[in-house]
A and B are shown apart, each in its own frame.
Chain A
Amino acid sequence: MRKVAVIGAGQTKFSGAQSLSLTELFAEAASEAMADAHIEARDVKALFIGNALGDFAEGQGMAPAFIADYIGTMNVPANRYDGACASASMAIRDAFLLVANGVYDIVIAGGVERAASLGTPLATRTFAMFSDSRYEFPAGMTFPGVFALLAHRYAARYGLPIEKLKEQMAQVSVQSYQRGLHNPKAHLRKSVTTADVLKSFTVASPIQLHDCCPFSDGAAALVIAAEDKAQVLSSKPVYFAGVGQASSGPLASQGGYLPRLKARELSAKQAYDMAGLTPADIDVCELHDCFSIASIIAAEGLGFFDPGTAGEAWLRGEADIGGKVAINPSGGLKSKGHPIGATGAAQVYEIVRQLRGEVEAERQVPDAAIGMTDTLGGDGGTMVSLILKRGW
């Protein structure tokens, strides 16, 4: 396999409902990524795009074909990836695999979504489509419902009083807002206290409004290139060190293992093994915090903290810049926003810029050399792990 680098990264501002189409949003992110990589669209040999809900958001299926034409990549293969919230990470992993294996030299991988444009009731309905349609949705399962079940399961399994867990969850949200305040591309930029979180309304007990990420519109894109191209085009190539992906069935079929998510643990192990690294080697991690409890479960599943202890780690500052591992200095899905098909690409965008030392001083992880992304699709049905490292 050839070495493969990210040589360009672009992201639109993440936001509430806005007027740009899917194609226009992706074009904006891709333009920024191509300018960053010093390439033109005609240099791109394939396009891999995460997009879960284009059909519902604007009646647009098969968006990548239209995007390829719109941005001028000249009739290249253009694939759509749907792994719910992990769609873009799947696209990036496949881009890595195809470049590594010599099929393409330069590709664009990323994602785009207009999730806020759906409005809350329809967005809630479509996100619920990432649960089992025949055996779980009829009972009334929703996306917050999945994580609410996990939160109560977590408290019961680890013998944590629910009030204590809620305080830990609130701290996860408070930290994300603090970091996102300094991210100009973040959707929600405000200061929030633990008291604010705990007095917000309950969406699905024990999950309250400020435990949830927003529905967002936005896009993110990466230019991914083989080593020989990367050496010519980039002074700061960020190399893939390890990748992993795994799947799971319906939430109930994961029953005995919950609140741990086996697919994540398998995916992360693949990435660590390929990279020859351990959790202790990771300086900065963008993990999937669609809900505050999701951060706690993810940080444990990735091996940063022992099961049942991540909430305490947040309270002690060990999951923040200057701690054991800097988690979600972008503000995470909570503050930065969650345009689901774009989310994984925005995580990689953040890691690339962190490793290059390019983010705002208030949220820059000092001397970050190795970064990781963790993206979860739906109820854990799709999990993708990517480990990236400085190439200079």
Chain B
Amino acid sequence: MTIKLSFKEYDAALRENRLMGLKCGRCQETLCPPRGACAHCGSTDLEPVELSGRGKIASFTTLFVAAEGRDQELPYALALVALEEGPHLIGRIDTACPDKLDMSVIGKNVTTAHAVFGGDKYSAGDAAYPLFKLAD
């Protein structure tokens, strides 16, 4: 299996606020984040494409308990976003008041920027993650 879009390539693009995905040559579905085979048809005929970064919040949560080493980030809000091109992505919601979010945030339009997790002793180094900005 040829890796068409590696984690490192996806990560480097995200750090420039470019969201990369893959387009399936067999069923034309768009995939994000990267994977080796199409989630819809299993084909490995995939080509990297740049996505719009636009989507809608499908769900959210505000966390008040974090994993070891990440307490200083609390509270923070995560979102499951349905991207315009079809796939879903998990990232953080860019808001000064994560503890004030309620169900009304579901369905809101977002654009994708990024932030960086510095890594810890149980991870393979630092990594960018999607930071969703509310567009409405």
A residues at B contact (CB < 8 Å): 120-122, 124-126, 128-129, 133-142, 144-145, 148-153, 155-156, 162, 201-207, 249-256, 258
Contacts and interface: CB of A to CB of B under 8 A. Distances in A.
A145 B103 CA distance: 16
Contacts of B60: 149, 152
Contact of A121 (B7, B68, B130): B68
A252 B33 contact: yes
B70 A140 contact: yes
Contacts of A151: 61
A206 B61 CA distance: 7
A150 B59 contact: yes
A192 to B, nearest CB: 19
A138 B61 contact: no
Nearest to B103: A162
B87 interface: yes
B89 to A, nearest CB: 5
19 contacts: A122-B68, A124-B66, A125-B69, A125-B120, A129-B122, A137-B117, A139-B130, A140-B67, A140-B76, A140-B117, A142-B63, A149-B78, A152-B61, A162-B103, A207-B61, A251-B90, A252-B33, A252-B88, A255-B88
The 4 nearest A-B residue pairs measured at CB: A255-B88, A148-B61, A138-B117, A121-B68
Which of B62, B63, B89, B128: most chain A CB closer than 10 A? B63
A204 B35 contact: no
Contact of B122 (A125, A204, A250): A125
Contacts of A153: 58-59, 80
Contacts of A204: 61-65
Contacts of A124: 65-68
A122 B103 CA distance: 30
Contacts of B33: 135, 250, 252
B123 interface: yes
Given A121-B68, A125-B120, A151-B61, 10 more contacts: A134-B7, A135-B7, A135-B33, A140-B76, A140-B129, A204-B61, A204-B65, A249-B39, A250-B33, A255-B58
B124 interface: yes
Contact of A138 (B87, B101, B107, B128): B128
Interface in B29-72: 33, 35, 39, 58-71
B80 A258 contact: yes
Interface string B96-131: 000001110011000000001100101110111110
Nearest to B117: A138
B70 A252 contact: no
A152 B106 contact: yes
B73 interface: yes
A93 B127 CA distance: 37
Contact of B91 (A120, A139, A205, A258): A139
A205 B62 contact: yes
Contact of A145 (B58, B78, B101): B78
Contact of B78 (A129, A141, A253): A141
